[in-house]
Amino acid sequence: MKLPAFDYHAPRSLDHALELLREHGDEARVLAGGQSLLPMMAMRLARPSVLVDFGQISSLDGITVTDDTVSLGAMLRERQAEESDVVRRRLPLLADALPLIGHDAIRNRGTIGGSIAHADPAAEIPTVALALDASIVVVSADRGERAIAAADFFQGFLTTSIEDDEAVLRIEVPAASPQTGTSFCEMARRHGDFAIVGAAVAVDVHDGRISSARIALMGVDGLPLRRTDAEHILAGSAPTAACLEAAAEAASRDLNPPSDMHGSSPYRKHMATVLVRRGLDEALRRAQEEPA
């Protein structure tokens, strides 16, 4: 359908934008890239009476590195992140995931902050943020900035802990170490389709043993999930086939994925095991071959 009517604002400053969000509260939504919000509005799944377009605010799309943290501005286009040397070298898991998001034209407009705030359970960026223990920095006119750990950020289906008067400002992501290997595996029927199930995997390897592992799944619930049972099996272990199999099996244990026309619940659960195993194999291979 065509979009419903709304009042439109395109503030030129962040302060003005935050004042508008404070004024309009839950009647307003932030417009970032629009690649998720506009289709939702067209399908009447979202019905804000006010849109605050962040597209005219400068300096919200930077990539900066401080010590071992990479900071990504909320309005950074997915395409810019995809082409960034810093992202490729310091956030390899994100670099793996970005080309899987939709298509060229979608990534040219879609933003990192928008994807995080939208929190689709089958979306790549929220899953990467969860896997890497990112910090989502939000801001409001009344309370200033606050940082929300990814583990606390995703609350449920398309639901985050952002307050009505808040907007995502940036994502702070711990950079990969030289010992880190990553892999992002997803199952989609066609290139660029929404993923049915996906796995984000990062492992750190020291002296032939896995010192730590991070595994997050998408498409298996109403929100992305960290698989800490699987991570505990891997931590401190030698990466034997038995160990990896046990971890992959643990990653899908206790899952109750949805069934829809793209995949049944048992299928998704099975694919979670398969993708985690593939992800571990590839992440380990890259951890061991990548130069420091």
Partner 1 sequence: MSDRVTVQVAVNGVPLSVEVEARTTLVDFLRDDLELTGTHVGCEQGVCGACTVLVDGVAARSCLMLAVQASEADVTTTEGLANDSRMAVVYDALTESHAFQCGFCTPGFLAQIATLVEASSRPDEAAVRAALSGNLCRCTGYESIIDGVLLALQQTTENES
For partner 1, the binding residue among 14, 46, 86, 106 (CB under 8 A) is 106
Per CB under 8 A, 104 contacts partner 1: yes
CB 150 within 8 A of CB 161: no
Is residue 105 a contact point for partner 1 (CB under 8 A)? yes
**CA 36 to CA 186: how far, in whole Å?**
20
- In the beta sheet, which residues pair with residue 135? 149, 172
**Which region among 35-43, 115-123, 128-136, 204-212 touches partner 1 (by CB under 8 A)?**
35-43
Tell the smallest beta-carbon distance from residue 51 to partner 1 (Å): 7
> 168 to 197, contacts with partner 1 by CB under 8 A?
190-192
Please choose, out of 86-94, 99-107, 162-170, 227-235, the segment that lies near partner 1 by the rule CB under 8 A. 99-107
Alpha carbon of 150 to those of 195, 196, 225, 226, 236: distances in Å?
21, 22, 11, 10, 24
Q: Which two tokens stand for residue 76?
A: 């950074």
Distances (CA, A) of 289 to 79, 156, 209, 282, 292: 27, 38, 14, 11, 9
In the complex, least distance from residue 191 CB atom to partner 1, rounded to whole angstroms? 4
- Phi/psi for 287 (5° steps) reads -65, -35
Three-state secondary-structure class, residue 62: coil
Pick from 15, 42, 143, 147 the residue near partner 1 by CB under 8 A: 42
Nearer Cβ to partner 1, position 75 or 283?
Answer: 75
Q: Per-residue string for binding with partner 1, 190-229, x by CB under 8 A?
A: xxx-------------------------------------
Pair 124, 111: CB distance under 8 Å: no
Specify the stretch interacting with partner 1 by CB under 8 A; choose among 29-37, 64-72, 178-186, 211-219: 29-37
Both tokens assigned to 62: 């930077």
Number of residues located near partner 1, criterion CB under 8 A: 30
Q: Does 39 bind partner 1 (CB under 8 A)?
A: yes
Distance CA 58, CA 285 (A): 41
Q: Of 34-42, 115-123, 224-232, 256-264, which part binds partner 1 (CB under 8 A)?
A: 34-42
Q: According to the binding rule CB under 8 A, does residue 51 interact with partner 1?
A: yes
Q: What is the largest CA-CA distance in the chain?
A: 60
Radius of gyration of the chain (CA): 19
Min dist. Cβ of residue 108 to partner 1 (A): 5
DSSP string, 187-207: E-SSTTSPPSEEEEEEEEEET
Q: Which 108-127 residues touch partner 1, going by CB under 8 A?
A: 108-109
Structure tokens at 156: 């449920």
How far CA 238 is from CA of 104, 200, 212, 214, 290, in Å, comes to 40, 20, 11, 16, 19
Closest separation in Å from C-beta 49 to partner 1: 9
Binds partner 1 by CB under 8 A, chosen from 53, 221, 229, 245 = 53
Which residues contact partner 1 (rule: CB under 8 A)?
Answer: 1-10, 31, 34-35, 38-39, 42, 51, 53, 55, 79, 102-106, 108-109, 190-192
